[in-house]
């Protein structure tokens, strides 16, 4: 597996930090990373590891771990070590911290918006390349739930798969074959219409039906159909979900709501590093 911290440090440090090397006295110092706005922390442990990777003699103290609510000025991490090392690690550590905390903060807002319903907020595969594991961990820090990690851990049959000419009989045969060869892998089918929902409810061994871009009335009908025909099948709503619409979608009774914006559109949270006396 790739190492996002190693990649980020190689990108930033290259052959070495010439500014720190020539202009900063090599003596011990202390610093803190702190929030400059209210947020939910994520990536704190990753930021700490950045400092340790730059200089193994650096000591880090996590003050507020990932998942902690933050107010303006709250310290999340304290660091002690050679001043050039602290300054060399600063930007990469902050980049991880601000990006991942942005994801956790946005996730927490969606989770709060559906409070009181049974719906759980899911992430998607719409992630920054090579940062998926960290971004999905940030979703968990915000109270969300991870969907599949990749193409390997869940079978998700979408419209383009069905557009290849797969018949219902072929789809059922493929599900049986998957169950036999990979019994731990779940099966999810994407439906664009209620007609497709009805067809999928006739199949066996389906775990989840994804209701893609359906209006509220169709979601309500799909929930009712599923309860009557296949109550063990779970329903996931998806498609253009926003903070303004998510509560109404959750009110239809779906089990999951997937939100690509959690990872592809979260605004970075403002953090800074401050050197201490």
Catalytic residue ranges: 91, 126, 158, 190, 212
CB-based contacts of 117, cutoff 8 Å, min separation 6? 247, 250, 251, 253
d(C-alpha 90, C-alpha 38), whole Å? 21
Q: How far apart are CA 62 and CA 51, in angstroms?
A: 12
Given a contact cutoff of 8 angstroms between Cβ atoms, the answer to whether 236 and 208 are in contact is yes
Spatial distance between the Cα atoms of 77 and 46, rounded to a whole number of angstroms: 11
């Amino acid at each position: 597996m790739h190492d996002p911290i190693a990649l980020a440090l190689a990108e930033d440090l290259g052959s070495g930090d010439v500014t720190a090397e020539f202009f900063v006295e090599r003596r011990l110092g202390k610093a803190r990373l702190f929030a400059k706005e209210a947020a939910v922390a994520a990536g704190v442990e990753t930021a700490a590891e950045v400092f340790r990777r730059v200089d193994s003699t650096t000591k880090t103290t996590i003050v507020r771990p990932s998942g902690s609510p933050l107010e303006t000025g709250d310290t999340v991490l304290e660091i002690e070590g050679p001043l050039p090392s602290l300054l060399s690690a600063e930007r990469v550590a902050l980049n991880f911290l601000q990006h991942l905390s942005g994801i956790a903060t946005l996730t927490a807002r969606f989770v709060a918006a559906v409070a009181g319903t049974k719906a759980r907020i899911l992430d998607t595969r719409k992630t920054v390349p090579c940062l998926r594991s960290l971004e999905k961990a940030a979703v968990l820090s915000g109270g969300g739930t991870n969907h599949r990690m990749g193409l390997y851990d869940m079978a998700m049959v979408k419209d383009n798969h069905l557009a290849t000419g797969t018949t219902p009989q072929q789809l059922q045969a493929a599900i049986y074959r998957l169950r036999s060869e990979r019994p731990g892998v779940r099966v999810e089918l994407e439906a664009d219409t209620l007609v497709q929902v009805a067809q999928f409810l006739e199949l066996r061994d389906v775990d989840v039906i994804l209701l893609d871009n359906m209006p509220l009335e169709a979601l309500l009908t799909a929930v009712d159909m599923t309860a009557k025909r296949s109550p063990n099948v779970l329903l996931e709503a998806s498609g253009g979900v926003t903070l303004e619409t998510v509560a109404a979608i959750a009110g239809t009774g779906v089990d999951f709501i997937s939100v690509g914006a959690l990872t592809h559109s979260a605004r970075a949270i403002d953090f800074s590093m401050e050197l201490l006396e």
